[in-house]
Structure 1
Amino acid sequence: MAADRSEESEPVLESDPETDGESPGSLFDDVGALIEDGRTYAEAELAFQKTRLAYILDHAKRAALFSGIALVLVVLAIVVLVVGILISLMQVMTPIAATMVTMFGLLLVAGLLGMFAQRAMRGIKRAFESESDG
């Protein structure tokens, strides 16, 4: 009976079915696998960012093209407006006077827009000066 009890109290070691015949992985193997996983992740992320950049560039090219065409059409519309004003003014004054009135009107508008641009640039300049002052 005493022999039966000693046999019962001894723990029975069973082998792990996942590692049967293999030695458990070392820390170096785990670190190597981690590095390999990191490389795989970095390569996948790089491929994703390249695809994303190509998509953005494609849309940016189209946006630039359409914006350029729109800008040309706006300039043409302004030319048509100026010619229309000039022709209308020639009905009430001489052609040279109509040309001068139209030219000075355009210079006035350009001057006002230049003043607005200068005011905006001063605001930007102040923002950078206050940023560098601390």
Structure 2
Amino acid sequence: MRANSCARARAWPSASPRRSVSCSRASSAARVADAAAGPQGVREQPGETADIGSGKIPADIPSEFDPDNDEFPEERHTPSLLEDVVHLFEDTKTYLEAETAFQKSRGGYVANRLKSAVAYGAAAFGVFHLALIALTVGLVIALSPLVGPWLATLIVGGLLIVVGLVLLRGLKSKIDDIRSAFDREEP
């Protein structure tokens, strides 16, 4: 005789609380039989063994599971289509609530980091601007002994205007590229 897989896989009683879920009628009977057994599988009544490892099972436990047996109808409840749809709706609602909460926290995190990035960017821009002013003043001071203060100022100012015009031309070409991307008509 072959024992039910649920009955074979049962552990011996321990101090931890047992769950009341069973796989079948056979495992329910095995649970009752195991409750009477000691920790080594020896029963109180002489002549009966509960040695699960050897494959011997008591005579009152069936050797196979009969799915058509309606002795325990409450264990065989199958949900209807309506119940499945209701559970699906509830699960979807829970998922959407969790996803919304996640995206809100993510947006808050990004907004916080964006504020910090803008602050650091503005500070860096200010420091670079001051550095360029210092270089310009230093260049005027360095050229003053060679060509005089007025001519040094005109040379440095003229060079800065030329560099500014080159950068402005690059900016205009990039803006024209963006404009042309939006002006194209798709066929």
Q: What is the RMSD of the two structures over their aligned residues, measured on CA atoms?
A: 2.5
- Please list, as runs of the form range in 1=range in 2, the aligned pairs for 1:29-108 lying within 5 A after superposition: 29-108=83-162
Q: Which residue of 2 aligns with 1:14?
A: 69
Q: Once the 2 structures are TM-superposed, how far is the Cα of residue 121 of structure 1 from its aligned partner?
A: 1.7
Structure 2: distance between partners of 1:96 and 1:16: 110
TM-score normalised according to structure 2 size: 0.57
Q: Once the 2 structures are TM-superposed, how far is the Cα of residue 22 of structure 1 from its aligned partner?
A: 8.7
Gap change, CA 1:133 and 1:29, over 3 Å in 2: closer
Gap change, CA 1:88 and 1:20, over 3 Å in 2: same
Percent identity reads 31
SS at match of 1:91: helix
Q: Which amino acid aligns with 2:174?
A: A
Q: Once the 2 structures are TM-superposed, how far is the Cα of residue 114 of structure 1 from its aligned partner?
A: 0.7
Structure 2: distance between partners of 1:58 and 1:100: 46
| Highest RCO, 1 vs 2 (Cα 8 Å, sep ≥ 6) | 2
Q: Which amino acid aligns with 1:66?
A: Y
- Deviation per residue, 1:20-41 (Å, 9 max, x gap): 2897543322222211111111
Q: Once the 2 structures are TM-superposed, how far is the Cα of residue 47 of structure 1 from its aligned partner?
A: 1.0
SS at match of 2:86: helix
Structure 2: distance between partners of 1:29 and 1:23: 12
Aligned pairs, number: 122
Structure 1: distance between partners of 2:104 and 2:168: 41
Q: Which amino acid aligns with 1:97?
A: L
Gap change, CA 1:70 and 1:21, over 3 Å in 2: closer
SS at match of 1:14: coil
Q: Which amino acid aligns with 1:69?
A: A
Q: Once the 2 structures are TM-superposed, how far is the Cα of residue 69 of structure 1 from its aligned partner?
A: 1.1
1:122 aligns with 2:176: yes
SS at match of 2:146: coil
Q: Which residue of 2 aligns with 1:111?
A: 165
Unmatched tracts of structure 1, length 5 or more: 1-11
Q: Which amino acid aligns with 1:75?
A: H
